[in-house]
Structure 1
């Protein structure tokens, strides 16, 4: 399967560098480039890429607004991954609420970039990198003093709630399976049921719900 990728960044050199790295890898294809958020939104609707790497700060329409509109399209299953220059971007929680699957630093090593793109397509966790874990703990804790009721949380079985807590810690399906002594296929089924009950697109959105509802507390295991 070829992973189709859209690059959205207002700097042509950044897009060229990302294209060079990604297209050197088997099974990855850059199908379009956008220099602003409006073009990114239009190209996502027309090209339906598997992954969109979107700069968080762009002209005309910023990356957060673009992510919100891309993920609001029920027929578009594009995974939106935000690109940032800073390792403590203050907009991380807003971007995750907007539907972004995760964050990547523009300065990250090429092998991590490639692995992250493949992970975004697989639906597995983009929460493992230190950056995203730290940002979730720091910013979600400050952004929400009171837990918000979340539809679907009370519908989770004890096992599904346990799996969600582990997903929120950044564990992959394989790591959860090993920790709970379950088959990886069983874990995938539990995760799928959690997503369905919470009404979210992916596991990152499930983690945001877990934090906002108070099921998981920032800074606590």
Structure 2
């Protein structure tokens, strides 16, 4: 029997999952939560085998943070991300946070059941599209210069703009004015791009921008 805990901010989704999973005699839904903080608290008490984790929960702790906290406090619990985000950025962050699996909400219910059984048995499970992306990234890294090229490709066009202007010495406020966005947005883009590229300091950022030919001044 697999003891399950469902985390999703939509009551209708939780109800649907409980109804679906309840049809399987090997599945037992022992609890549910509408946000990450509630999930962490209740999982410490209930000790489920598998947690079905949504990522986007705007009214409380999100799924990424909850996954990290669950794995820190209860390493033996398997977290299976169940999300609408078919995006490699979410996929990689979920894996880094400690998730054992990643399934899309649009997947057939047979796939969800298979994923639950897999992570409950101590294995990993990725939706087929996610596996294809990871394999593609691995093969790219095997090519000369592949890893750096792949990392740069993960940046959005706006992140590339922020990278270029920052390396040229412009302050966040100046960049915000040029791009017609808020300073907070610029700071968010900068934090995201540095995390993606594995950069820690401004000199690292400048050196990287020089290598990518982003320092040409008009």
Q: Same fold (TM over 0.5)?
A: yes
Indicate conservation of the 8 Å contact 2:64/2:94, yes or no: yes
Listed as ranges, the matches of 1:39-118 within 5 Å are 39-58=38-57, 59-73=59-73, 75-118=74-117
Any idea what the Cα deviations from partners look like across 1:39-93, whole Å, max 9, x if unmatched?
A: 11111111110000010111321100100010012x4411001111132252211
Shift of 1:95: 1.1
Shift of 1:131: 2.2
Distance 1:60 1:139, change over 3 A: farther
Distance 1:94 1:17, change over 3 A: same
Structure 1 Cα separation of the partners of residues 137 and 93 of structure 2 = 10
Distance 1:138 1:15, change over 3 A: farther
SS in 1 for 2:61: coil
Distance 1:19 1:28, change over 3 A: same
Larger radius of gyration between Structure 1 and Structure 2: 2
Structure 1 Cα separation of the partners of residues 15 and 135 of structure 2 = 33
What 5-or-longer segments of structure 2 have no aligned partner? 142-146, 150-197, 199-218
Listed as ranges, the matches of 1:114-153 within 5 Å are 114-127=113-126, 129-137=127-135, 145=148
SS in 2 for 1:91: helix
SS in 2 for 1:25: coil
**What is the TM-score normalised by the length of structure 1?**
0.59
SS in 2 for 1:31: strand
Shift of 1:138: 5.8
Indicate conservation of the 8 Å contact 2:88/2:130, yes or no: no
Structure 1 Cα separation of the partners of residues 111 and 43 of structure 2 = 24
Any idea what the Cα deviations from partners look like across 1:98-139, whole Å, max 9, x if unmatched?
A: 100111111211111111111111123414x31221342467
Q: How many residues align?
A: 143
**What is the TM-score normalised by the length of structure 2?**
0.60
Structure 2 Cα separation of the partners of residues 138 and 57 of structure 1 = 26
Structure 1 Cα separation of the partners of residues 64 and 136 of structure 2 = 19
Structure 1 Cα separation of the partners of residues 90 and 16 of structure 2 = 24
Structure 2 Cα separation of the partners of residues 15 and 32 of structure 1 = 10
**Which residue matches 2:25?**
26
**Which residue matches 1:218?**
none
CA RMSD after TM alignment: 2.3
What 5-or-longer segments of structure 1 have no aligned partner? 147-211, 213-221
**Which residue matches 1:14?**
13
